[in-house]
Chains A and B, each alone.
Chain A
């Protein structure tokens, strides 16, 4: 085993078959040299990249993710990359929430003719991640804490409500609804942020009471939130039937994640 003096970031790139993967091939044919830190996973369209898969890359401890598609308007599947754009925007928001720099996720568009640009994107991104340092360095979270937060983030992105909202974004923001109204982008962004914050908070609490039953106070300590905030989320989790009271200690009920 060889040890390196400097830290070498470990990066996964999801590239679409038609444009960005072709640009990577062109970079090869043209012999444009770039650092070997990025390993490429081919998908047919960047829209295949489920946000939960991006989270899984970070959960497994890799340092950066690139999602590269065709330029907007030239998607081989016509509209795929518009979905990629909006889903990845949401993913960046939750990465920040989870205690990570959203810059570790790069979303960009590269045409099949842009081999040189592909090489420079890889170069620049590798440098950027190298500067950020190992995963979690930017917020000094310990690896276990960061992983728990990332798992909560991934679960939040797997929730029906989050996925439904991001899936409707184009329609809500760009097309008029049946009443002839459009949702302003800023308003939608605000709505999305609230939604993922709420889902993230729920998932963090659920993960904290997976194994043990805890009181509101104890949960608040674990998830580093105020007891009032936790109580609010507990009420809605109880309403959803996702937690149950496992016992009472003194005056405080102890909660546990509901089974099944």
Chain B
């Protein structure tokens, strides 16, 4: 492949491009660019007809570079790359030029200058295409062992699901028993089943499963390696256990906020919902005739803007349990908005209303005031101030991330959001994956989830995590740095810069040299742009390929 033979395909995108840019002029311009041997315009380059024209173009003109000027690589690059691959061309010899989202659509009123800009963009694309090099994906073997961190309902379900698929699982729980948050709950909405029974059933199933090893009172201390090949150190007492894992599932859950200086909280007359669950379990509530519950405590405010989602239903359930043990009791629920979405839960709300629980809407601007044996609240719907004498005040505090979740995030090199919850790769398309390959998440570690949601997510995470283990290997993108060892001085700046530990210094005969761990690399290029020796070349985004695109507009005009 000595002579560069580039083909340029320009898409009309119906009228999205063709209606605002002079496509024939672009074709004429592109055909005069160096190395361009073939040009063509397509009504829709991404249609089956357009893709066939690319394949034909490659075959008939012996193209070894393909440039498509159309929409955005963020949606269509995979399609055009695979079309090139189908026609026998290395997919990394494909170059995208965005003349729709970043040209025709944003300069709709200036056809002349928009066309001029599109020419420049095409010229830049061709200049980079000429310098592209064929790259190959590499394969990395995957150890078929899973590490599940967290032994709550999500972790237990995930571990079982993986073990039932035939994979070895290590389940690490920091407490001395499995169950997580369930251990603090009495009965569960909407079925009223006892949380302890659920924990017991799951624990027994786990213990019976020979594929699962349960490590309680244990914490993950260190994680090294990359997808398929993690080296994990778990601390138990003063003893370290080392083992291999191919995938890691984060199921560490969350905790409920312990109120401090809020509504005269004292843990006795003013308690949290979790503490109420304890009292209910012990049957200690028969003497409380009037109970006031306050929703959204220190929540959905500036400090904590999110809705914890489970508190409304928990309050409904506990209010109904109070009524069940003491039918004469009066229960007031002071709420901002009752969040009970879904068919079952809206019914549950209706049922609670029928049992005689009183719901009073307050606004965040006029918060309730708790005094000794009395709660004052401005009822938004009645438009008047009420004083409710009461025996017990229950605070619905939000679900918050574990304080140590950031430590785990650092160990695993995965992100957390502004509230400390773990952040998924994509909120809609990859909800149980992390951006880092081989690490997944489920349950309230992600954000507040109820039992049903935690279980669904656990199945999802188990399913996602079993893909690389079943296939036995993963492919890694070749967008990785290449080290020029002669230039590398072993200064370790790249190792410091890389958040994924994808570059590590190793001893060689020539001294310490940087080594790339392809499977860990995410392809950002931060290492190369900072290398003091300029010893790092970022494949597919080389200096030369970037510099080739810096063409002054004065050189573009015909």
Enumerate chain B residues within 8 angstroms of A161, measured Cβ to Cβ: 532
Chain A, 2-43, contact with B by CB distance < 8 Å: what is the 0/1 string?
100000001010000100011011011101111110011111
Nearest first, the 10 A-B pairs at minimum CB distance are A28-B101, A48-B525, A47-B526, A45-B524, A77-B524, A28-B105, A50-B529, A160-B532, A163-B532, A78-B499
Q: List, sorted by A's number, 29 A–B pairs whose CB atoms are closer than 8 Å.
A: A12-B550, A21-B74, A25-B98, A27-B101, A28-B72, A28-B100, A29-B101, A33-B108, A34-B106, A36-B106, A42-B98, A45-B525, A45-B526, A49-B529, A53-B543, A53-B550, A56-B550, A60-B551, A60-B552, A76-B522, A76-B524, A78-B413, A78-B499, A83-B526, A158-B534, A164-B491, A164-B532, A167-B497, A167-B530
Residue in A closest to B530 when the chains form the complex, CB atoms: A167
Range for the number of chain B residues in contact with chain A? 35 or more
**Does A171 have its Cβ within 8 Å of any Cβ on chain B?**
yes
Known: A22-B74, A45-B524. A33 touches B549 (CB 8 A): no
Say yes or no: B549 contacts A41, CB within 8 Å. Answer: yes
Enumerate chain B residues within 8 angstroms of A87, measured Cβ to Cβ: 529-530
Residue in A closest to B527 when the chains form the complex, CB atoms: A47
Chain A, 77-102, contact with B by CB distance < 8 Å: what is the 0/1 string?
11110010001000000000000000
Segment from B114-122, B293-301, B377-385 that makes contact with A: B114-122
**Does B6 have its Cβ within 8 Å of any Cβ on chain A?**
no
Contact of A28 among B102, B117, B121 (CB under 8 A): B102
**Does A61 have its Cβ within 8 Å of any Cβ on chain B?**
yes
Say yes or no: B107 contacts A36, CB within 8 Å. Answer: yes
Known: A47-B529, A164-B491, A167-B493. A60 touches B550 (CB 8 A): yes
Say yes or no: B526 contacts A77, CB within 8 Å. Answer: yes
**Does A168 have its Cβ within 8 Å of any Cβ on chain B?**
yes
The A-contacting residues of B in range 501-558, CB under 8 angstroms, are 522-526, 528-534, 538, 541, 543, 546-547, 549-554, 557-558
Say yes or no: A39 contacts B124, CB within 8 Å. Answer: yes
Enumerate chain B residues within 8 angstroms of A56, measured Cβ to Cβ: 547, 550
**Does B415 have its Cβ within 8 Å of any Cβ on chain A?**
yes
In the complex, A57 Cα to B548 Cα: how many Å? 11
Residue in B closest to A42 when the chains form the complex, CB atoms: B73
Chain A, 221-249, contact with B by CB distance < 8 Å: what is the 0/1 string?
00000000000000000000000000000
In the complex, A56 Cα to B74 Cα: how many Å? 27
**Does A196 have its Cβ within 8 Å of any Cβ on chain B?**
no
Known: A34-B106, A36-B107, A79-B499. A47 touches B101 (CB 8 A): no
The A-contacting residues of B in range 60-89, CB under 8 angstroms, are 72-74
Enumerate chain A residues within 8 angstroms of B146, measured Cβ to Cβ: none
**Does A121 have its Cβ within 8 Å of any Cβ on chain B?**
no
Minimum Cβ distance to chain A for residue B75 (Å): 8
Known: A1-B557, A28-B101, A48-B538. A36 touches B413 (CB 8 A): no
Enumerate chain B residues within 8 angstroms of A1, measured Cβ to Cβ: 557-558
Say yes or no: A31 contacts B106, CB within 8 Å. Answer: yes
Minimum Cβ distance to chain B for residue A154 (Å): 12
Minimum Cβ distance to chain B for residue A69 (Å): 11
**Does B32 have its Cβ within 8 Å of any Cβ on chain A?**
no
Enumerate chain B residues within 8 angstroms of A40, measured Cβ to Cβ: 98, 102
**Does A153 have its Cβ within 8 Å of any Cβ on chain B?**
no
Contact of B493 among A29, A50, A73, A168 (CB under 8 A): A168
**Does B496 have its Cβ within 8 Å of any Cβ on chain A?**
yes
Instruction: Count chain A CB atoms within 10 A of each CB in B72, B73, B528 and give the residue with the most.
Output: B72
**Does A119 have its Cβ within 8 Å of any Cβ on chain B?**
yes
Instruction: Count chain B CB atoms within 10 A of each CB in A22, A48, A53 and give the residue with the most.
Output: A48
**Does A44 have its Cβ within 8 Å of any Cβ on chain B?**
yes
Contact of B530 among A34, A41, A83 (CB under 8 A): A83
Enumerate chain B residues within 8 angstroms of A119, measured Cβ to Cβ: 106
In the complex, A163 Cα to B496 Cα: how many Å? 13
Minimum Cβ distance to chain A for residue B195 (Å): 36
Residue in B closest to A41 when the chains form the complex, CB atoms: B549
Minimum Cβ distance to chain B for residue A214 (Å): 29
Known: A21-B74, A28-B102. A36 touches B499 (CB 8 A): no
Enumerate chain B residues within 8 angstroms of A160, measured Cβ to Cβ: 489, 532-533
In the complex, A138 Cα to B52 Cα: how many Å? 53
Contact of A167 among B479, B496, B538 (CB under 8 A): B496
Contact of A53 among B413, B479, B547 (CB under 8 A): B547
**Does B113 have its Cβ within 8 Å of any Cβ on chain A?**
yes
Known: A34-B106, A48-B524. A166 touches B543 (CB 8 A): no
In the complex, A194 Cα to B110 Cα: how many Å? 47
Say yes or no: A43 contacts B525, CB within 8 Å. Answer: yes
Enumerate chain A residues within 8 angstroms of B102, measured Cβ to Cβ: 24-25, 28, 40
Minimum Cβ distance to chain B for residue A216 (Å): 30
Chain B, 88-132, contact with A by CB distance < 8 Å: what is the 0/1 string?
000000000010111101111110111011001100100000000
Say yes or no: B74 contacts A17, CB within 8 Å. Answer: yes
Say yes or no: B541 contacts A48, CB within 8 Å. Answer: yes
Minimum Cβ distance to chain B for residue A80 (Å): 5
In the complex, A168 Cα to B530 Cα: how many Å? 10
Enumerate chain A residues within 8 angstroms of B533, measured Cβ to Cβ: 160
Residue in B closest to A34 when the chains form the complex, CB atoms: B106
Minimum Cβ distance to chain A for residue B280 (Å): 41
Residue in B closest to A119 when the chains form the complex, CB atoms: B106
**Does B4 have its Cβ within 8 Å of any Cβ on chain A?**
no
Known: A50-B529, A163-B530, A171-B496. A41 touches B124 (CB 8 A): yes
Instruction: Count chain B CB atoms within 10 A of each CB in A21, A60, A78 and give the residue with the most.
Output: A78
In the complex, A34 Cα to B67 Cα: how many Å? 26
Known: A12-B550, A43-B525, A48-B538. A27 touches B106 (CB 8 A): yes
**Does A62 have its Cβ within 8 Å of any Cβ on chain B?**
yes
Say yes or no: B114 contacts A36, CB within 8 Å. Answer: yes
Say yes or no: B550 contacts A62, CB within 8 Å. Answer: yes
**Does B435 have its Cβ within 8 Å of any Cβ on chain A?**
yes
Say yes or no: B525 contacts A36, CB within 8 Å. Answer: no
In the complex, A166 Cα to B530 Cα: how many Å? 8
Enumerate chain A residues within 8 angstroms of B530, measured Cβ to Cβ: 47, 50, 83, 87, 163, 166-167
Residue in B closest to A158 when the chains form the complex, CB atoms: B534
Enumerate chain B residues within 8 angstroms of A51, measured Cβ to Cβ: 529
